[in-house]
Each structure stands twice: as C-alpha cells, then as structure tokens.
Structure 1
Amino acid sequence: MLALSNLTVRRGDCPVVDRVTLTVGPGEFVGLIGPNGAGKTTLLRAALGFLAHEGESSLARLTPRERARAVAFLPQAREIAWPVDVETLVALGRAPHLGRAMGVEDRAAVERALQRMGLEGYRARVATALSGGEQARVLIARALAQETPLLLADEPVAGLDPESQIRAMQVFQDLAAEGRAVVASIHDLGLAARHCTRLVLLARGQVVADGPPAAVLTAENMAAVFGVRVFYAETPEGPVVQPLGVTR
C-alpha cells in the first residue's frame, strides 16, 4: 500500500529525511515515533508527493485523483474554514468518489465514519463552534469517510482527552484488522506501544529502528534517540511505557 525507496528531502544541503526505505502492507498500523524535528511530518508529506524529494514513493507517482482514492491524509494542522454542520464536513471526505451528487454508498460511508468516531449526536452541530478536541474527532471522521486502503495521519491524537485518544487509536487498530493500513506519527509512546503493530523510530531523518514495539522501545534506543530512561512492562492490557527521567 506504500513503498518508499531512498526517500530524501533536503533543506539546502541538509537532509531532513535521509534515504528512508520502507514498505507498508495491508493489516499494519505503523507508528512513526521520534523526537521533535526527527522528520516525521516531512516524511509523510514527501511520501504523498507534497514536497520535492529524491528517491521514490509509490504514492507520489499517482495522479491527484488516483492518490485521493488510494490514501486519506490527516495533517497535523487542524483547520475548519467554514461554519458548516458536522455531517456536511465529514461528507467532504467523499469528494474523490463523487460523480454529480452524493449517492447511497456515499451517505453510508459518512454514517460509518460518524459512528466510528462517536459523532452521531453531533451531525447537526456547527463544526467551527466545537471544542478543539471535538473538531479533531470530526476531522478524523472526514478522513475515515474517504474509505481509502491507506490512511496517513500526522499526530492525530494530539490534544485529545485520554478517552478520545484511546478510542481513536482503537479505530485505527480496527482499520488495520479489517485489512487496510494506517501510518501515524505519535508522540505518546504508551499509546504507540499498545495499539500499533509496528513502530518506525526516526532520528535526524533516518530510520534507527523498525519492528514490533518491544523490539523498538528498548532502553538503548530510548536513551540514544530521546535521551530518556523509560519503564517498559507487558501487562494483560498491553505494553506500558513511561519515561522516567533524562539521560543527558
């Protein structure tokens, strides 16, 4: 669903993303983790063809309409430009699939997205009048309504309360279990460890580690990349990861 080969993005002579090669297949929920400035956002945008880059991205080769049907993108910036109701905003996710008007399947896709994000009771509310966290959930629903095989999300749970974070991560996990794929940049290591099937650890634009959460979230990796000591434990509810202190 996504193939990157030696993907490189430069700012002047400095590589912000440096020769990243990875593939993402059906059934994977991949968490991009790394410190601020590691290149996570740049990697997602370059993979979509939004930034000039060297190397190859399977998505960047597509036409805009093909790409919009292959991948939904949830950017980090949350902006709702018009005071429309929530249902209308979520329905904008159907734009790549529309002919002249919304059809039965389009309306069903919007309803599924509202239900996944627990927004059935919000459909008639004005989106710009919602709280920041509620707007974030609505924008996730818009991306879900696109019903693409692949979803790329840049810090999708930042700023959400704990319940909304867990519910959103469960939605992404469910999408992967249904045979789609999700790639999301995530700062909360605990959420990433519990919900992602695979983690990709970035530092200075390069992939430092790539694999199951337990193999990536090692004490050595956390100290080298984040400069922190962490507590890691496996529990019946999944892994628990908690930074304890700095190492440098």
Structure 2
Amino acid sequence: MSLLSLSHLTVRRGCCPVVDDVTLTVSGGEFVGLIGPNGAGKTTLLRAAMGLLPHDGQSSLAALPARLRARAAAFLPQSREIAWPVSVEALVELGRVPHPGAGAEADRQAVDRALARMGLQGYRGRIATALSGGEQARVLIARTLAQETPLLLADEPVAGLDPESQIRAMQVFAALAAEGRAVVASIHDLGLAARHCTRLVMLARGRLVADGAPAVVLTPDNLAEVFGVRAYFAQTPDGPVFQPLGVIR
C-alpha cells in the first residue's frame, strides 16, 4: 500500500529549483535511504513532502489536513534542540499528541515501546537537556516512534551518533519496515545506507538520478558522477559492505 506519493514535486528559492520535478512512491515495508551530496535537496524534499514548505506538484501527505497528516506520518527534523528541561518520559509522551482519544493505557504502552526500541528504559526519569547530544538524539527518535504512524520521515537521524547507536537506530528503522510500515531517511553514511535500507533514492542538484536497491544505485558511475568518489562494494554473509576509497575529481 502506498504511504507517500510525490508527483512532479518542485521547490524553488527565487527562480532556482532546489527540488526539481521529483516523482516517487513509497509503500509499506520499505526503508528508503535518501542520499546525495550536501545541497542535493534532501532536507527540502522531506520538508516539502510533509507540507512544511511551499511547493509545486503534489505530495499525498501535504494534501492532508494537519490533524490527519500527524496520524499518517511522523517527521524527525535535522535540528535536535530540546528547549525545556523535561524528563525523557515526558518528552517521548509528546509523540502521543496526535492521538488524543487513544487513552492513558495505550499512550503508556506506546511510550514504553518507543523507549524499549531505542534502549532508553533506564533513562525514563532523567532530564532530557542534561543528556549528551547523542543521547538526546536517541530520545527524539523515541518521541517520533511513540507517534506510531504508518510512515516516518527522518532527516539525518543517525548523524553524530556513535557506531553502536547508529547501527541500532538503523536496525529499528529496518524493523519498522519489516512490520509493514515505511521509513524515509536522509543518510550521509553510504555504508549504513547500503547495509540497512531496502531502497535508495539518490538526488543531485535537486533531481532524482537513481532509485532502486542499494547495489543498483551505488554503481561506480553514479558514485563518480554524483559524489566524485570511487568505492568498494561487496556482498557478505552479514549483508552488503560499502566503503568510499578516494576522490576522483
């Protein structure tokens, strides 16, 4: 089932397109890695898809009323600022705001599940602003998970996390997809993207240049053209391994 449909989505700054005529569909069961160099339009695409930026073309999410959109998709922005010294539990509970009629027990269980997925059960009573940057990032992911939407859009969710936390977060997103939900996440680490995503969407200068399985998208030609690098790519019993080796331009 389609959970996100973009048709000729275009976002302009002045007369310059930042996202240029992007059409794609995301279905349940997919973990889509949105990749591309800095300035490729990844953040803009995610924000426009959520209806947070003016755009031309169509987004199935942006077309929804705000109340329904909050139940259809959760959005994790790149910014990780936590403004108030609240407990981790209280912060994660904010993910339940779109579900006012769910009931206290359903809300508690959703928060418990989110904390458990992110390995934060022991952080429940700690003050969120007193945590490290990486710990705060995990709490904000948990808040998004507590929203329990069919679709999750995340902008660089694993940036700045230590290797273990990066892998665990990617495993959580992959598990959501395996449960029938969908995740679209912008990711700079191509190795993590290759290892955990079911599909990669590659952007360059705002345009979609490749879309498919990691082995199909991360070709030598695409890497040279879009990123200007050469890399090692191999399939192993533990999954694909991808490592940039050098700059070619």
- Normalising by structure 1, we get a TM-score of 0.99
The corresponding residue for 2:70 is 68
Partner of residue 31 from structure 1, selected from 30, 33, 42: 33
> Separation in 2 of the partners of 1:122 and 1:176?
26
| Counterpart code for 2:192 | L
The aligned counterpart of 2:59 is 57
Match of 1:165 in 2: 166
Provide, for residues 20-58 of structure 1, a one-character-per-residue CA deviation record: whole Å limited to 9, x for no partner.
000000000000000000000000000011101000000
Superposed counterparts of 1:111-130, under 5 Å: 111-130=112-131
Equivalent-residue separation in structure 2 for 1:96 and 1:28 (angstroms): 24
Q: Secondary structure at the match of 2:19?
A: strand
Q: Determine the structure 2 residue equivalent to 1:177.
A: 178
- Equivalent-residue separation in structure 1 for 2:216 and 2:110 (angstroms): 37
Q: Counterpart amino acid of 1:82?
A: W
Alpha-carbon shift at residue 79 of structure 1 (Å): 1.0
Deviation at 1:132, TM superposition (A): 0.1
**Identity level (%):** 79
Structure 2 residue aligned with 1:94: 96
Relative to the length of structure 2, the TM-score reads: 0.98
CA–CA separation in structure 2 for the residues paired with 1:239 and 1:84: 40
Name the SS for the 2:6 alignment partner.
strand
Q: Equivalences for 1:1-248 in 2 at 5 Å?
A: 1-99=3-101, 103-248=104-249
Q: Could you report, residue by residue, the CA deviation over 1:116-166 in whole angstroms, capped at 9, with x for unpaired residues?
A: 000000000000000000000000000000000000000000000000000
Local SS of the residue matching 2:75: strand
Count of aligned pairs between the two proteins: 247
1:173-215 per-residue CA deviation (whole Å, 9 max, x = no partner) reads 0000000000000000010001000000000000000000000
Deviation at 1:102, TM superposition (A): 5.2
CA RMSD of aligned residues (A): 0.8
Partner-residue secondary structure (3-state), 1:2: strand
* d(CA) in 2 for partners of 1:61, 1:208: 26
Between the aligned partners of 1:102 and 1:5, the Cα distance in structure 2 is: 37
Structure 2 gaps, min length 5: none
Distance 1:42 1:139 in 2: 20
Q: How far apart are the structure 2 equivalents of 1:217 and 1:185?
A: 15
Q: Which amino acid aligns with 1:47?
A: A
Task: Look up the SS of the partner of 1:18 in the other structure.
Answer: strand
